[in-house]
Structure 1
Amino acid sequence: MTAVQSTAPAIRAPFVLLLRVSAVLTMAVMLWQPTMAGLFTTGRVSYLTLHDIGAGVAALLAALDVVAAVLLRWPGRGSAALIPHAVAMLVLVGVQMALGFTQLVAVHIPLGVLLFGMALGFTARAFARRKS
């Protein structure tokens, strides 16, 4: 039993790293998105294209967050607390993309602020110290 306990942190380490890298990249894209949208308001259409590409990247990274949270948890390597947070972000990114494509800016902008806050919280939780 002692051997299993001593190797648990070593087995878990790659999954913690994946979660942390994914979380930081997600947070960076969530900051990139309003920057590109704001620059689009200066009249340069190319920034809207970058904002559109960023939406796809945000969706991929949110999906990676879910995968990383599940891999960290399964089987019994970590807490399941990050999984609902990651799933909620993934769902809200999909809603955010739909709102952006339909140009419902009055809801799109506040939801973007919420998503950045969620990404920031997810990243903080990914870096929080946990018992192994």
Structure 2
Amino acid sequence: MPEIRPARRWPIALLRTLTTIVLLQVLIQGALAGGFVTGDVNLLGLHSANAILLILTSTALLPATILLVRPGRGPWWPIVFGVVLWWAIVMQAGLGFARQVGLHIPLGMAIMGLTAALCWWAFAYRTPAPVPAGGPSAPFTAGGPS
């Protein structure tokens, strides 16, 4: 009887944790920015510090998406999604430090949507069913399973 290899569950748990943290940080960024533009200039320092922390947290998403593929047996596209999200966050911080608010604000909204989508997907995702260690037990032919 072939050995059954279940998908590892810890990679999706790691991804869920990190996407939740990133989502919370993005929400905090919006709240800090809102407080700053309404007159509390002291919040700009916290907004900047959270931006740096957000870059670091989104960087941690990248290996988490790779671990989801192997050993987690998950899909590969979250790797691309994570790279795009990381790049957008780095660009966002650069635009913010350059005071380019005309681009900074809409990109922030896009980051919020991307982060929320990835977080939602991570919680909706279910690990694949176990497969035999040597592959499927039924032989495959050009016409389908025999």
Output the TM-score relative to the length of structure 1: 0.89
Structure 2 gaps of 5+ residues are 129-146
Deviation by residue 1:14-72 (Cα, 9 ceiling, x = unmatched): 11110000001111111110110111123322210110011012111111111110111
Find 2:102's aligned residue among 106, 110, 122.
106
Aligned length: 128
Which residue does the alignment assign to 1:18?
14
Identity level (%): 33
Find 1:43's aligned residue among 33, 39, 50.
39
Structure 1 gaps of 5+ residues are none
Higher strand content, 1 or 2: 2
RMSD: 1.6
Which residue does the alignment assign to 2:90?
94
Which residue does the alignment assign to 1:66?
62
Higher helix content, 1 or 2: 1
Which residue does the alignment assign to 2:48?
52
Report the Cα offset of residue 131 of structure 1. Answer: 4.6
The 1-side partners of 2:32 and 2:125 are apart by: 34
Q: Does 1:4 align with 2:4?
A: yes
Q: Which has the higher relative contact order, 1 or 2, with Cα contacts under 8 A spaced 6 or more apart?
A: 2
